[in-house]
Amino acid sequence: MLDNFDDLQKLGKDNVDVTLKQLGAVSKGFQAIATEVADYSKKSFEHSSAAAEKLLGSKSLEKAIEIQSDYFKSAFESFVAEATKIGELYVDLAKESYTPFEGYIAKVSPAK
């Protein structure tokens, strides 16, 4: 009986350890994503402000259209690159949050 209690206690401790590792990985992943989104938002705002200043300073309609076209093209390319990077961060988050459970599941699963 005492062995079963010790095993149960060890299992509970292992559960807590794995959960804390997983929560740490999730927290770190979401922090990286939030930092990336904040940096992108700042860069995007600065880029759009610079484009608006150029647009207001343009002397002709052709120049204004050129400035606007260049801005839209670079904004789209920047968005696609950032979306790809954030997608990769989410994939890394999923992998990192699952990693602590891999060894634990193998250890807890009954032998076949």
The predicted-structure confidence for 18-43, as pLDDT tens digits, reads as follows 888 888 888 999 999 999 999 999 99
Buried b (16+ CB within 10 A) or exposed e, 52-89: eebeeeeeeeeeeeebeeebeeeeeeeeeebeeeeeeb
Residue 68 backbone phi and psi in degrees, to 5: -65, -40
Residue 3 has pLDDT above 70, yes or no: no
Kind and range of the H or E run holding 60: none
- Predicted TM-score (pTM) of the model is 0.73
Domain assignment present for 26: no
Looking at the structure of the chain, the number of domains it has is 1
- Answer whether residue 100 shows pLDDT above 80: no
Range of the domain at 74: 40-106
* In-domain check, residue 73: yes
CA dist., res. 90 & res. 30, Å (int): 8
In a domain? residue 72: yes
